[in-house]
Amino acid sequence: EVQLVESGGGLVQPGRSLKLSCLASGFTFSNYGMNWIRQAPGKGLEWVASISSSSSYIYYADTVKGRFTISRDNAKNTLYLQMTSLRSEDTALYYCARRADNWANWFAYWGQGTLVTVSS
Amino acid sequence: IQLTQSPSLLSASVGDRVTLSCKGSQNINNYLAWYQQKLGEAPKLLIYNTNSLQTGIPSRFSGSGSGTDYTLTISSLQPEDVATYFCYQYNNGDTFGAGTKLELK
């Protein structure tokens, strides 16, 4: 069974940094691209960043480009999101997600999310 | 590609046939999925590629559409279907609709 467990969220002041982690299990992590998706309180879903299986290809939403860095450690089955220069509008529940397959692009697997609150 | 869902709020009775709409700002080429999100839970995949039912999802859920216009139908609304429903396109990047909140009348 695919499991994705996020951690690292919390309360952080504007301008500060935070690093999220997502521990994956139930599949061969190194074979799949991974993603971060966020949801502001009471709002819709926003794709944040993607990373390919070998980290060769990385993509970001314009709203976080230059401030967030997605990375992965295939030996530890872990996905990361380093967030810097945080703003109040980054307040959201951050989900780790995997597509159904490398040829099937819809998001099929989601973690439960980790909450990031940016406030002074 | 921007997705516009309508209505934003829908009230219906148990047993009703319910139709939710999702319209793209350009052709989505059937690369559209639907998710159900209950309060405090992660999104749950219902439908992918416009009309393919995800394993384990009840057959009362169905999807249809083409081009820019897509629909999620619940043939007979059940109490456990109360949730917010999001459409999502993966034809060009990844974008989600703002959601339709479905409540019981």
B8-29, pLDDT tens digit by residue?
Answer: 999 999 999 999 999 999 999 9
The two tokens of residue B3 are 């997705």
Q: What's the pLDDT score for residue B97?
A: 96
Please report, for residues A3, A36, A101, A116, B67, the alpha-carbon distance to residue A113 in angstroms, rounded to integers and kept in the order given: 12, 10, 21, 10, 33
In angstroms, the separation between the Cα of residue A77 and the nearest Cα of chain B is: 21
Query: Under an 8 A CB cutoff, do A105 and B97 touch?
Result: no
For chain A, what is the mean pLDDT? 96
Q: Do B48 and A104 touch (CB under 8 A)?
A: yes
Hey, is the C-beta of A102 within 8 angstroms of any chain B C-beta?
no
CB contacts, 8 Å: A110 with chain B: 42-44
CA distance B83 to A27: 29
pLDDT class of B61 with cuts at 50, 70, 90: very high
- Would you call B42 and A111 a contact, using CB atoms and an 8 Å cutoff? yes
Distance in angstroms (rounded) separating the CA atoms of residues A33 and A97: 9
Taking the C-alpha atoms of residue A46 and residue A40, their distance in angstroms, rounded to an integer, is 9
Asked if the model's pLDDT at residue A27 lies above 90, the reply is yes
* Residue A59 · residue A78 · CB < 8 Å: no
Q: Is B31 on the interface with A (CB under 8 A)?
A: yes
Collect all residues of chain A within an 8 Å Cβ-Cβ radius of residue B99: 44
Predicted confidence (pLDDT) per residue in A59-114, tens digit: 999 999 999 999 999 999 999 999 999 999 999 999 999 999 888 889 999 999 99
Contact B49/A47, CB-based, under 8 Å?
A: no
Contact call for residues A40 and A91 (beta carbons, < 8 A): yes
Q: Which of A45, A46, A94 to mutate to test the interface with B (most CBs of B within 10 A)?
A: A45
Tell me how far apart the alpha carbons of residues A98 and A102 are, in angstroms, rounded to a whole number.
9
Q: Does B101 contact A at CB distance below 8 Å?
A: no
Please state, in angstroms and rounded to a whole number, the distance separating the CA atoms of residues A35 and A58: 10
Residue of B nearest to A114 (CA): B42
The strand pair at A3-7 and A10-12 is best described as unpaired
Residue B89 to chain A, least CA–CA distance (Å): 8
* Burial annotation B2-12 (CB, 10 A radius, 16+ → b, else e): ebebeeeebeb
Residue found by looking up tokens 């081009």 in the block? B67
Cis peptide before B7 (omega within 30 of 0): yes
In chain A, beta strands by DSSP E: 3-7, 10-12, 18-25, 34-39, 45-51, 58-60, 68-73, 78-83, 92-101, 104-110, 114-118
B93 close contact with A: CB closer than 8 A:
yes
- Give which of A46, A39, A99, A48 is closest to A69, Cα–Cα: A48
